[in-house]
Amino acid sequence: MLQLVDVGRQPIDAYAKIVGLEVIAELRQLASELKSVRVAHINATSYGGGVSELLRSIVPLENDLGLKVEWRTIFGEGQFFKVTKDIHNALQGAKKYLGADEKETYLNYNLINSRELDPKDYDIIVVHDPQPAALLECCRQQEETKWVWRCHIDTSRSNEEAWDHLKKYVLRYHKTVFTMKEFVPPKFPLVDVEIIPPAIDPLSPKNLELSDKMAHRILAWLGIFPGEPFITQVSRFDRWKDPLGVIKAYKMVKESRPNLHLALVGSMALDDPEAWEIYSELTALDTNDPNLHVLTNLTGVGNMEVNAFQRLSSVVIQKSIREGFGLVVSEALWKGTPVVAGRAGGIPMQLMAGGGFLIDSVEECADRTLEILENKDLALEMGEAGRENIKNNFLITRLLRDELQLFRSLVNS
Ligand code: UDP
């Protein structure tokens, strides 16, 4: 069997105080038609990145609503994850794609994993992202099981060769789900596509209410003294998130605000071999500036710490060049913190109703950050608008509703 991720229990009723009883009643009504429907969510890693955040929150809620849902991860090794990172990068627009050997590696690992999966154990299998996308091709398909491929990547400007390769696996699925319609590749059979943006969990340790006093204490333990203003980017160490661009922008702002600090908070996802390389580059730069902090999950920055950073930062930066969604943007806005973020992928829809500025360059990133740092009223106004938009559109209960509707359409088809 594929590795099961134990996510414990979480009652849906706990969300009533945030989203209201009507929303919970609607979810219960939708779920009433899905009692005991067996679902497997399958992805590459139980830790690091947005997909594992989403699954960690949504799986217990789907179970609480009466479905029988499991989260399972595939097995992989360095060679496989290097190949799948290249696929990820090509889908986001990198020119380099796989050679024949690498394509074989990709298929072989999917084959190994498919032997650990019996589709007839489930009514619905949701496969997340490209790493396990060839599982369906490799499994002995059971007529009754419905398969969904859920793409979380910014595929708006994909490398065509990468799509041509993946398409033969993806077109076998009953449904594919993208975050935005702009991500659907050209000539994709639109009839099988659903658009569902991700969402954040307001009750997870990363997003729950935290007093300023406690947040200060948490950051002080990490050596960040919030007596001085600081800005933060929280991201996997990934070139598409442009951490070097963030440092350049910070240095520009610092010319006007010499006491400013920058925290670059990054995690090492289990399936991301590039992160170490980028981390080394950043720490090499780090040496001469005591106000530049490069922190990771490996040195104690967990969910509560990220919560504290996002809450106490004067501005949260997300200078992505490509971005599937960017949960970190919603996380910061939910805490009332203004965001300056790259005009990429799913970010603009999170800032559509206010909450921050979209930027297209390092200079603009620096200018907009300074503008917020210098105008407290603007920062407050943005914070309020941003939180309201997240409350209305990007909380986990909305995602749950969309997924239950998707499951219902599959079960009834
Ligand atoms: N994250 C974290 N610690 C880090 C870096 C990232 O907990 O050091 C979390 C972040 O809070 C968010 C997720 O990882 O919940 C990243 O999701 P996002 O959609 O922003 O980007 P992805 O990694 O999926 O490209």
Q: What is the overall mean pLDDT for the chain?
A: 95
329 CA closest ligand 1 atom index: 20
Place of tokens 């134990």: 6
**Whole-model pTM?**
0.97
Predicted local distance difference test score (pLDDT) of residue 44: 96
pLDDT > 70? residue 280: yes
Please give the pLDDT value at position 190: 73
Sequence-ordered list of residues with C-beta below 8 angstroms from that of 154, at least 6 positions apart, any chain: 91, 92, 183, 240, 322, 323, 324, 344, 345, 346
Ordered by start, the domain boundaries in the chain are 3-199+395-411, 212-393
Is residue 124 within 8 A of residue 37, CB to CB? The reply is: yes
292-301 burial by CB neighbour count: b if 16+ within 10 A, else e? bbbbbbeeeb
Mean pLDDT of 159-175: 94
Quick one: pLDDT at residue 236? 92
Rounded to the nearest angstrom, the distance between the alpha carbon of 115 and the centre of ligand 1 is 31
- Could you give phi then psi for residue 64, rounded to 5 degrees? -60, -30
The confidence band for 235, taking pLDDT boundaries of 50, 70 and 90, is very high
Atom in ligand 1 nearest the alpha carbon of residue 269: 23
Among the atoms of ligand 1, which is closest to the Cα of residue 206?
A: 11
| Weakest-pLDDT range from 2-6, 70-74, 225-229 | 225-229
Residue 101 confidence class, pLDDT cut points 50, 70, 90: very high
Mutate to test the pocket of ligand 1, among 45, 234, 333 (most ligand atoms within 8 A of CB): 234
Which superfamily does CATH assign the domain made up of 3-199+395-411 to?
Glycogen Phosphorylase B; (3.40.50.2000)
* Structure tokens given for 38: 């067996």
Give the Å distance between the CA of 120 and the centre of ligand 1: 33
User: Which residue lies with its CA nearest to atom 2 of ligand 1?
Assistant: 267
For ligand 1, the distance from its centroid to the CA atom of residue 135, given in whole angstroms, is: 26
How sure is the predictor about 286, in pLDDT bands with cuts at 50, 70 and 90?
A: low
**Which strand (E) or helix (H) includes residue 124?**
strand 124-128
User: Residue range 305-323: average pLDDT?
Assistant: 97
The DSSP code sequence of 130-197 is STTTTHHHHS---TT-EEEEE--S--TT--HHHHHHHHHHHTTSSEEEESSGGGSPTT--GGGEEE--
Pairing outcome for strands 230-234 and 261-266: parallel
Residues with CB under 6 A from ligand 1: 49-50, 53, 206, 234-236, 265-267, 297, 301, 306, 324-328, 331
Assign domain 212-393 to its CATH superfamily: Glycogen Phosphorylase B; (3.40.50.2000)
8-state DSSP, 34:
T
pLDDT digits (tens, 9 = 90+) for 170-185: 999 999 999 999 999 9
Q: Could you tell me where the beta strands, DSSP code E, fall in 244-291?
A: 261-266
* Angle of helix 327-334 versus helix 303-312 axis, rounded to 10: 60
Give the rounded percent of residues in the chain with a pLDDT score beyond 90: 89
* pLDDT computed for residue 271 by the predictor: 75
**Best substitution site from 306, 329, 349 to test ligand 1's pocket, by max atoms within 8 Å of Cβ?**
306
Please give the full DSSP string across 203-221, using - where no structure is assigned.
Answer: TSTTTS---HHHHHHHHHH
Share of residues in the chain with pLDDT > 70 (%): 99
The string of pLDDT tens digits covering residues 106-145 is 999 999 999 999 999 999 999 999 999 999 999 987 778 9
Is 212-393 in the same CATH topology as 3-199+395-411?
Answer: yes
Between the CA of 343 and the centroid of ligand 1 the distance, in Å, is 18
191 pLDDT above the threshold of 80? no
At 136, list the tokens.
Answer: 């369906």
Tell me the average pLDDT across 284-312.
Answer: 91
Rg, the chain, Cα only? 21
Mean pLDDT of 224-250: 94
Ligand 1 geometric centre to CA of 307 (Å): 12
Q: Which of 328, 329, 347, 350 to mutate to test the pocket of ligand 1 (most atoms within 8 A of CB)?
A: 328
Sheet with 292-296, edge to edge strand ranges: 292-296, 261-266, 230-234, 315-318, 339-342, 356-359
Tell how far the Cα of 249 is from the centroid of ligand 1, in angstroms. 21
Q: What is the pLDDT of residue 272?
A: 81
CA of 234 to the centre of ligand 1 (A): 7
